[in-house]
Amino acid sequence: MKNTTLVIMAAGMGSRFGGGIKQLEPMGPNGEIIMDYSIYDAIQAGFNKVVFVTRKDLFETFREVIGDRISKVIPVEYAFQEMDAIPAEFSVPEGRNKPWGTGQAILAVKDVVKDPFLVINADDYYGKKAFRIIHDYLVEDHPHDKKYQFCMAGFILGNTLSDNGAVTRGVCKVDANGNLTGVTETGGIVKTADGAEADAADGSKVSIDPSAHVSMNMWGFTPDFLEVLEGGFTEFLKEHGTELKSEYLLPEVVDQLIQSGEADVKVLETTDKWFGVTYKEDKPVVVDSIRKLIEDGIYPEKLYK
């Protein structure tokens, strides 16, 4: 059986959550955070290493809250996403105050990830099924047709909406073979009595199918993707490196590979309900959701005994 790694993106601060480190907010009955449940599900699915992508200024807090504890049940390594972690021929423009996006975050693991790997957000709860189906895909043998073979968890849009405000989702187009053909970042998505609606380009509202597949930044990659990211980051900086807010985004890199015919990305459907802490008002919902999962026997009262 192949080794597989779980990569958790945890370098961001939650401004809409109130400015605190939302990834480290206690949610479970014994102070567990959302990452605890993701890691628990990943271990059960068969993943055998965790890599946390964080920032150097958060490292000690991060290690104290979760890292040291998790290292007792699964090997743990760290990678750091920093604004100045860019090729030597470039410089950070004056006035920029944040790193370069999710593509740079994953590029940070290049020296510590050597096996097929799953990427997730630190502050999202994904459910057990997604971890199982992505793990199984990563350890399978796939056709050698000179294309990259990646995968993503395809969540149902209606299972990912917040009761407390609008969200942005990557709405997916999927072909007859279950492969991703495109991702459209769609903002302003809210629940309606009939399903969901989103912001149109002209500022009006447009109905959106609540049964559509969406990406929640849960991707399965092979290690050679890190080389793609490295070369792509250089090209990105050539074009956007003087901008203050430009971001090198994982979905956009994947979409470019699909459009150029260099990659097939299998969409693996999960009907589990996603939840997370986009807004401060989401926390009670997350706490109640975790409590119900424990009451239903999905998780033990204490995860790591």
The residue extents of the domains of the chain are 5-295
Rounded-to-integer distance, Cα 296 and Cα 63, Å: 31
Amino acid at 199: D
Mean predicted confidence (pLDDT) in 75-89: 94
Six token digits for residue 135: 């793990």
Residue corresponding to tokens 């068969």: 46
Of 107, 136, 130, residue with least CA distance to 250 = 107
CA 72, chain centre distance (Å)? 24
Residue 19: pLDDT over 60? no
Q: Which band of pLDDT confidence, cut at 50, 70 and 90, is reported for residue 206?
A: confident
Predicted local distance difference test score (pLDDT) of residue 132: 97
Predicted local distance difference test score (pLDDT) of residue 15: 46
Of 7, 52, 25, residue with least CA distance to 279 = 25
Residue 100: pLDDT over 80? yes
pLDDT digits (tens, 9 = 90+) for 207-241: 899 999 999 999 999 999 999 999 999 999 999 99
Predicted local distance difference test score (pLDDT) of residue 257: 95
Amino acid at 236: F
Q: Which band of pLDDT confidence, cut at 50, 70 and 90, is reported for residue 268?
A: very high
Phi and psi at residue 85, to the nearest 5°: -85, 75
**Number of other CB atoms surrounding residue 103 within 10 Å:** 21
Q: Contact 136/42 with Cβ under 8 angstroms? A: no
Q: Contact 147/264 with Cβ under 8 angstroms? A: yes
Instruction: Output 268 or 204, whichever has higher pLDDT.
Output: 268
Residue 12: pLDDT over 90? no
DSSP assignment of 181-248, as one string? EEEEEEEEEEEETTEEEEE-TTS-EEEE-TTSEEEEEEEEE-TTHHHHHHHHHHHHHHHHTT-SS---
pLDDT digits (tens, 9 = 90+) for 107-158: 999 999 999 999 999 989 999 999 999 999 999 988 777 899 999 999 999 9
Mean predicted confidence (pLDDT) in 195-203: 84
Predicted local distance difference test score (pLDDT) of residue 13: 53
Q: Is the dihedral of CA 210, 211, 217, 218 positive or negative?
A: positive
Instruction: Output 166 or 180, whichever has higher pLDDT.
Output: 180
**What 3-state DSSP class applies to 179?**
strand
Predicted local distance difference test score (pLDDT) of residue 128: 96
Which fold is adopted by the domain 5-295? Spore Coat Polysaccharide Biosynthesis Protein SpsA; Chain A (3.90.550)
pTM: 0.92
Instruction: Output 122 or 203, whichever has higher pLDDT.
Output: 122
Of 10, 32, 234, residue with least CA distance to 119 = 10
Q: Helical H runs in the chain?
A: 34-45, 59-62, 68-70, 102-107, 128-139, 225-240, 250-259, 283-295
Residue 14: pLDDT over 70? no
* β-strand partners of 267: 152
Residue 186: pLDDT over 90? no
Mean predicted confidence (pLDDT) in 264-283: 88
